[in-house]
Structure 1
Amino acid sequence: MRCTMTYTDLIFDLYGTLVDIHTEESAEVWEKTALYFGFYGARYTGAELKRAFEREMAARQAKAGQSYECFPDIPFEQVMDALFRKKGICTEGLGQNAAQLFRIASMEHLRLYPHVLEALAALRAKGFRLWLLSNAQRVFTAYELRYLGLGEQFDGIYLSSDYNCRKPDRKFFAALLDEQKLDPARCLMIGNDRETDIAGAVNAGLATLYLHTGLTPPDQEPADPARTPGKAPADCRRYEYEGDDWAALTALLCRL
């Protein structure tokens, strides 16, 4: 199949778009993380650690929000480091290790949606450039990308914790567009969240493909079948699709 290439650059969200993930930040997870802190002399109960983390994160977000970031994103490991320092422990790397332990302990499953790797390879073979723009923490997402085989699939990977802001902040979209000198008119944002992915991309001047998957926030409306690629008017720049069938989506993307 030969693509018409209305769009040359496809920008993907990660979690809920390409990756099916479920995490549960339960009291048990906080207790296990507190135990790790205690091994190094930073003693908290699980409940104390959770409260301290939330206070520290809120303070840092409030400070960042006083600058130009409308939607600040604070590196998780920096908050963990701060909680070690509050107990007088300044050993380098403990915050990163604690963040990764917390993520693994909270994770119930992590897997690609069906046919994702095949779809990305097929889209690249058809001439698209592929970019990842994700609200994500590098401290654990970089390793998850490698585990899932996604690390080498993109022309560039943009994670919100690296830029201290997250979608729908226009600054985060601009980081990709400006650094890579992309033409917004030739870009298509693909994501599963109407607020962060779709509204943010529209505000940045991008066409969008909204995927209503199992991880789409439950209060958001389902995708409109009338806007499925190939059915929408030729001048439509906001497309929608119900489901996570990447074998079908690959063909649909070539109809835009």
Structure 2
Amino acid sequence: MNNNVYKNYIFDFYGTLVNILTDEKDPMLWDKLAQLYQAYGAAYEGDALKKAYAKHVDQARKELMDLKGVAYPEIDLAHIFNQLYIDARPQSSNSNQPEDWGKLIAMVFRVLSRKHLTAYPHTKEVLAFLKEQGCRLYLLSNAQAAFTNAEIDLMALRAYFDGIYLSSDAGICKPQPEFLKQVLDDHGLKPSETVMVGNDLTTDIAVAKAVGIDGILLNTFPYSRRELENSPIKPTRVIMDIEALKIGFT
């Protein structure tokens, strides 16, 4: 597109639109989760729960990789947390386990591990501007639906998007080409009119290149100049602030 202007913008979420910090290694996190499991009759200690979780995640990813025949599978953590309960209560069909247990624990896991979550400066301003210009906006995130949907709403960003795609729903994640291609196919988006905007070369920019669309790197990591120069994955454009997406509109 001329002047770096596109009709369709596909955004990454974490590290692109919002800044988040989590600590999933904190022993206190696992101790508190274990206490919640204990309250419903599943006898876990914090460290044992953490190890069992890691084992289930690794096994589930391998199984999904084989099942789907993909290099980049994405599991649903709600299923993992539910299986952990079942493992500890094999005869628990009549237990006091609440409905949607896995989703509940996934949300608690996120709330306890999240240190901060804020929208980057200019995020809402630029999304609103692009909508005013008649652009269509989509979200494509390597993320867990069990808690990312709540965080999208917490940041009041849902209304800006014409479609939201989360990897745990799809069973695959960036840079698996089919994940991005689904957005193009579902909405009839022309590759020449569409751009992927994200903060990660190996996922966001790589998946854009894989399906033949432009990729804009919003360099929030940030990558150093040397890293950008030496990377085999080259973005169409590098910007330091999302506000740069407004350039080119008249």
TM score, norm. by length of structure 1 = 0.86
Aligned amino acid, residue 69 of structure 1: V
What is residue 77 of structure 1 aligned with on the other side? 78
What is the percent sequence identity of the aligned residues? 35
Cα offset for 1:252?
2.8
What is residue 40 of structure 2 aligned with on the other side? 40
Cα offset for 1:250?
3.4
Cα offset for 1:223?
8.2
What is residue 167 of structure 1 aligned with on the other side? 174
| Residue 193 (structure 1) aligned to one of 192, 200, 211 | 200
Q: Deviations over 1:167-212 (max 9, x none)?
A: 0001111111111121112110000000000011101111010111
Q: Quick check: 1:118 aligned with 2:125?
A: yes
Q: In the aligned structure 2, how far is the partner of 1:123 from the partner of 1:208?
A: 17
What secondary structure is seen at the aligned counterpart in 1 of 2:204? helix
Contact 2:217/2:235 (CA < 8 Å) preserved in 1? Answer: no
Contact 1:210/1:240 (CA < 8 Å) preserved in 2? Answer: yes
Long gaps (5+) in structure 1: 225-235
Contact 1:210/1:223 (CA < 8 Å) preserved in 2? Answer: no
What secondary structure is seen at the aligned counterpart in 2 of 1:55? helix
What is residue 54 of structure 2 aligned with on the other side? 54
Contact 1:212/1:222 (CA < 8 Å) preserved in 2? Answer: no
Contact 1:65/1:71 (CA < 8 Å) preserved in 2? Answer: yes
Contact 2:205/2:235 (CA < 8 Å) preserved in 1? Answer: no
What secondary structure is seen at the aligned counterpart in 1 of 2:195? strand
Contact 2:71/2:176 (CA < 8 Å) preserved in 1? Answer: yes
What secondary structure is seen at the aligned counterpart in 2 of 1:144? helix
What secondary structure is seen at the aligned counterpart in 2 of 1:118? helix
Contact 2:10/2:194 (CA < 8 Å) preserved in 1? Answer: yes
Cα offset for 1:4?
6.1
What secondary structure is seen at the aligned counterpart in 2 of 1:209? strand
What is residue 231 of structure 1 aligned with on the other side? none
What is residue 227 of structure 1 aligned with on the other side? none
Q: In the aligned structure 1, how far is the partner of 2:22 from the partner of 2:177?
A: 27
What is residue 221 of structure 1 aligned with on the other side? 227
After TM superposition, the runs of 4+ consecutive aligned structure 1 residues lying more than 6 A away are 217-220
What secondary structure is seen at the aligned counterpart in 1 of 2:124? helix
What is residue 21 of structure 2 aligned with on the other side? 22
Contact 2:195/2:213 (CA < 8 Å) preserved in 1? Answer: yes
TM score, norm. by length of structure 2 = 0.88
Q: 1:34 to 1:162 in 2, by over 3 A?
A: same
What is residue 10 of structure 1 aligned with on the other side? 9
